[in-house]
Amino acid sequence: MVETGDNRLAKLNSCYTDADSADKTLFAEMRSNCLLYIGNHYSNNKDSVLRDFVRTQKIPQDKKLRLTKNHIGAICDRLINATVTSHSPSAVIGPRHKMEVQDKKAADIASSVWDKIKSFNKVDELIADLAFDFIVVGEVATFTYFDPSKGEYLGEAEIIEEATGAVIGKKHKFSGEIVIKRLEPFNLLRCPTAKSWETSPWLIYREMVDVEEAKRLTNDEEVKAKISQSADETFVVFDSQKGQYSQSSKDKVLVKHKFYRPCEEYPEGWYVLYTSDTIIS
């Protein structure tokens, strides 16, 4: 039986639902860690907790329990600063064999490329953000990829329809850049049957993206219409830096990146980008 696009999308959505529920407790703990760091950690059930203490007669009726000072943020800041200043030295690329000219040339080229990547991605700031994730959130994740829409502007390029080979328009062309993107760990999902992210046969990363930005990822008008349809969904979004929850706006759409590791079904691996209503690429 040939798998249709609708069947594949249904399977992707089903896998996402299962993966979303697999680590809900862990993700809730990560968000709580952020709230503790910021100091916005008082929950609605604090009164019931106090009542439990009173009920067990550990606190007299005329006494009240209240946390007056939270040192977690200050302690985490010291740990983050120590991690950034003492444990994150810059990488230096050198030749494998110091006496061989070919190795020296290869090392010089690689060092030049790495310097450009560090400059474009502002690696010093990235390391500080990753240290925050490591100390406060408890997990660190990045996504490294080549983005053809970044870099130096090279002019216009023709858009050719694959089926007919006809020129159907033009688009702006850039030199491209290697991007190191910081991922929020509670938005990285694994296969429910896997014991860890490292052994999971696939991974899903979800993010809110501007609708127009998502539309630029495809030339298919039908897919663009379905992206707009997906934007009608409303989600609760958590900001780990501010420790705040907010409603997603109508100009945002939830996009999922799914990465299959090389396996029997996908010997070279497979990457798919999709929303709840359509497969983008």
Please state the φ and ψ torsions of residue 245, each to the nearest 5 degrees: -100, 145
> Region 88-106: what's the mean pLDDT?
83
Measuring CA to CA, which residue among 256, 261, 259 is closest to residue 271? 259
- State the pTM of this model: 0.75
Q: What is the pLDDT of residues 45-81, one digit of tens each?
A: 455 555 565 555 555 666 665 656 678 888 888 988 8
Amino acid 236: pLDDT: 66
Which of 57-66, 176-185, 256-265 is the least confident region?
A: 57-66
Q: What is the pLDDT of residues 12-41, one digit of tens each?
A: 989 999 998 888 888 888 888 888 888 765
Measuring CA to CA, which residue among 7, 27, 79 is closest to residue 190? 27
How far is the C-alpha of 136 from the C-alpha of 119, rounded, in Å?
26
Per-residue pLDDT band at 2 (split at 50, 70, 90): very low
Which of 1-15, 43-57, 162-176, 222-236 is the least confident region?
A: 43-57
Q: E strands of 7-95, at which residues?
A: none
Q: What is the dihedral of CA 181, 182, 187, 190, to 10 degrees?
A: 70
Amino acid 66: pLDDT: 60
Amino acid 258: pLDDT: 93
Amino acid 191: pLDDT: 92
How high does pLDDT run on average in the chain?
81
Amino acid 1: pLDDT: 36
How far is the C-alpha of 121 from the C-alpha of 129, rounded, in Å?
12
CB 95 within 8 A of CB 103: yes
